[in-house]
Amino acid sequence: MRQLVFPLLLCVAFFASAQTVDQQIASKHKRLEQIQQESKTILTELEELQMAWIREQLDKLDYPKSSTDYEIVKHSALTLGYAEEHEQAAWVQHVVIPEVEFANVSRTNDFRPDSLVSTGSAVEQDYFLKEILPDGEMKYDGFGYDRGHLAPSADFRWSQKALSESYFYSNMSPQKPEFNRERWAELESWIRTYVIDFKEPVFVVTGPVLKDGLPKQGQDSVSIPAQFYKIVLDLTGDEHKAIAFLMPNDHCAYPVSGYVTSVDEIEKLTGLDFFSSLDDTEEAKLEAMNSIDGWIHSENNEFGEVSPLKPPLPKGYFNTLQAKYKVGEKTNICGTVVATKKSRKEAIYLNFDQKYPRNVFYATIWKNNQNNFSFDPEKEFLGKTICVFGKVEFYNDQARISINREEQVSYWDDVIGEND
């Protein structure tokens, strides 16, 4: 009998233990649910605080001033000035925050009219028409333009609400697919990369260049702009800076850096007065800036993207963007060598201002001409700003010059020195 008691006690202990583990598991599940709910609540509160902070910053900076009476429309994380005559915003202002790095809210694609526009915003029929065919299929009759975001939806993927509001038709403008999906999208990504790399929020103002006589589309006659601008302002820390971009509503052959301009130039073109709430001295300084320098993190840009040299250059010298207009001529093309490469046939390629395949100009030193150099040109020219003289050719949508000897190359500092 004693022999049966001990195993029986073990069985009782086992089931008692198993029951205790089950209870522990249930308790942990319950605690986890509580933590998840608490986390969800905190994230919601954080999102609301972020939107409140953005609204505060936008109101503090104030909005572009204009002699035209645009309706000011404020949403959770963006503000726009609606141009009723053109059925779109003349400008949209928002803030890109570092939280965009970890944003994971999916696209909503809930395009819809903006009920806050008192005169009524554009609608779906302004961008494409839908017809149900007899067989039940849907036929789409578009106008050849995308519903292009002014403030990009990806900038708001940290908030379901802010993201959804970016799909109001008041934030849309007709954009050619080759523009909207290519260089414009690249510019938007470029700005997010800056915010992520530098961990600094930036103000962004985006808009079409609106004027009389623009072509129209859709039932409400939405204007089709020929150009779009984007302005970026960083007021974090002691080193404030600004940069502006102006792009044609078309295929953009140049790299993003080729479209850099100043806020002053955008103001002249649009009639808008940006950042008037800033101190006059600081406003003047920021709005005159027109260089991409300082906007790209050094860790991501060792001999990377740089701005083409600003024209006018000394007589007889041209930048890389002007090279394609000199095809067939012998002239000097100047820029910064940001990448070099030796091909399988041992030709040396020098990419100017932008790495392949985004560069618009390059120079070639064929193998049989490399002994005409007293140094290794592949190493010597990397990172240097130089001018190359020769006949400009056009090959695979890129301008190029073949260099046969080192006398065809001059350093930019020497060129400037000679023309002082």
User: pLDDT, tens digit, for every residue of 128-145?
Assistant: 888 888 888 878 778 899
What local confidence, expressed as pLDDT, does residue 7 receive?
Answer: 55
Average pLDDT over residues 291-302: 67
Whether 149 sits among the annotated catalytic residues: the reply is yes
- Are 401 and 393 within 8 A, CB to CB? yes
Per-residue model confidence as pLDDT tens digits over 319-360: 998 998 899 999 999 999 998 999 888 999 999 988 887 788
What local confidence, expressed as pLDDT, does residue 302 receive?
Answer: 45
- Are 361 and 409 within 8 A, CB to CB? no
What local confidence, expressed as pLDDT, does residue 18 receive?
Answer: 56
Higher pLDDT, 244 or 130: 244
Angle, helices 280-288/263-270, rounded to nearest 10 degrees: 90
What local confidence, expressed as pLDDT, does residue 413 receive?
Answer: 94
Would you say residue 268 has pLDDT above 90?
Answer: yes
Q: Given the residues 75, 86, 94, 149, select the one marked as catalytic.
A: 149
| 70 closest CA partner among 84, 86, 55 | 84
What local confidence, expressed as pLDDT, does residue 303 receive?
Answer: 44
Average pLDDT over residues 7-32: 69
Length of the chain: 420
CA-to-CA distance for 330 and 342, rounded, in angstroms? 25
Would you say residue 297 has pLDDT above 70?
Answer: no
Least confident of 46-50, 305-309, 316-320: 305-309
Higher pLDDT, 188 or 258: 188
CA-to-CA distance for 254 and 397, rounded, in angstroms? 11
Per-residue pLDDT band for 292 (boundaries 50, 70, 90) equals: confident
What local confidence, expressed as pLDDT, does residue 298 receive?
Answer: 52
CA-to-CA distance for 44 and 280, rounded, in angstroms? 39
Average pLDDT over residues 33-46: 84
Per-residue model confidence as pLDDT tens digits over 104-126: 888 889 999 999 999 999 999 99
- Are 286 and 263 within 8 A, CB to CB? yes
Least confident of 137-146, 190-199, 246-255: 137-146
Domains of the chain: 47-300 (3.40.570.10), 317-418 (2.40.50.140)
What local confidence, expressed as pLDDT, does residue 419 receive?
Answer: 76
Per-residue model confidence as pLDDT tens digits over 154-183: 999 999 999 999 999 999 999 999 999 999
